[in-house]
Amino acid sequence: MGARPLTCLNLLATPSGKLGPEITQGIIEGALSKISEAGAVLAGGHTVDDNEPKFGLAVTGIVHPNKIWRNNGAKPGDALILTKPIGSGGLFNANLRGWLPESDLQASMKILSTLSRAAYETFLRFEVHAATDVTGFGLVGHGFEMASGSHVTFDIQFDTIPILPGSAAMYEKGINTGSNALNFQLVGERLVFVNERPFAKQQLLADPMTNGGLLVSLPSSQARGALQQLHDAGVEHARIIGEVTEKIDNLALRIF
């Protein structure tokens, strides 16, 4: 991580004759708007016939070899900053069932459609020891990978974690995703809840995110300054959610 995007290729799979051209046009136009916002250019793309619609981007970027942000290297004494709320997987499933209030959907979509560019540019001013995005493996999965790769333990304060509007209520109502259980299995016994949490709240930590935020480990002496600059840059949901400690037994994550 830490690269600046330069060029992108569209990769579109679409069922011929089932999706109108206006839908395909809308998908590509939406992608182009975000590509331009990120400071990159669209260089072309590929389209294939597929029964299930799919869309993605192949991105080329550039980064100084001494300034690559890896998902290991977190150090004891670091603080952990999360830049976006979690909970999109549950929200999207709830929306498919018609459970989610429109106000929560619109508020969450505004957050989820925001690029991490401002967060990235802010962290360039600080000493980033490790970083990862929080996406399909959820906060526990990506946090586990980062902690275990760094040979440390992450102490995370549950009540400081930002959560998308309505997501907690949807999990309490019984929504779930096909990835939550798999994400917890990935971590296994290397995660422990120090303070007991209801099942629904535990599930939020394994929620598979779409365009989630960055989880960044940096010196605790820089954390408050970084957080203030993130807020000043419009990354309003960024929070300090925990700290890095020396490895405790075989644990990667402790949730308080």
Other CB atoms closer than 10 Å to residue 73's CB: what's the count?
16
Domain enclosing residue 25, as ranges: 4-62
Do 147 and 187 lie in one domain? The reply is yes
Query: Which CATH number is 185's domain given?
Result: 3.90.650.10
Residues 182, 194: Cα–Cα separation, whole Å: 21
Q: Give the pTM.
A: 0.92
Do 102 and 20 lie in one domain? The reply is no
pLDDT at 20: 84
Phi then psi for residue 103, to 5 deg, are: -65, -40
Do 16 and 93 lie in one domain? The reply is no
pLDDT tens for the chain, 256 residues long, are: 889 999 999 999 999 888 888 998 999 999 999 999 999 999 999 999 999 999 999 999 999 998 899 999 999 999 999 999 999 999 999 999 999 999 999 999 999 999 999 999 999 999 999 999 999 999 999 999 999 999 999 999 999 999 999 999 999 999 999 999 999 999 999 999 999 999 999 999 999 999 999 999 999 999 999 999 999 999 999 999 999 999 999 999 999 9
The answer as to whether 73 is a domain residue is: no
pLDDT at 18: 85
Residue of 135, 138, 112, 107 lying closest to 203 (CA atoms) = 138
Last residue of a domain, one of 30, 62, 94: 62
140, with CB counted inside 10 A (0-12, 13-18, 19+), is buried
What amino acid occupies position 2? Answer: G
Do 12 and 133 lie in one domain? The reply is no
Kindly provide the b/e burial profile for residues 165-195, where b requires at least 16 CB atoms within 10 angstroms of the residue's own CB: bbbbbbbeeebbbebbeebbebbeebbeeee
| Domain count of the fold of the chain | 2
Last residue of a domain, one of 33, 62, 91: 62
Which is it for the CA torsion 56, 58, 135, 49, positive or negative? positive
The answer as to whether 159 is a domain residue is: yes
117, with CB counted inside 10 A (0-12, 13-18, 19+), is middle
Query: Which CATH number is 55's domain given?
Result: 3.30.1330.10
Do 129 and 47 lie in one domain? The reply is no
- HSE-up of 47 (CA within 13 Å, CB side)? 9
Last residue of a domain, one of 62, 86, 109: 62
Residue 4: which residues within 8 A CB-CB, separation 6 or more? 39, 61, 62, 63
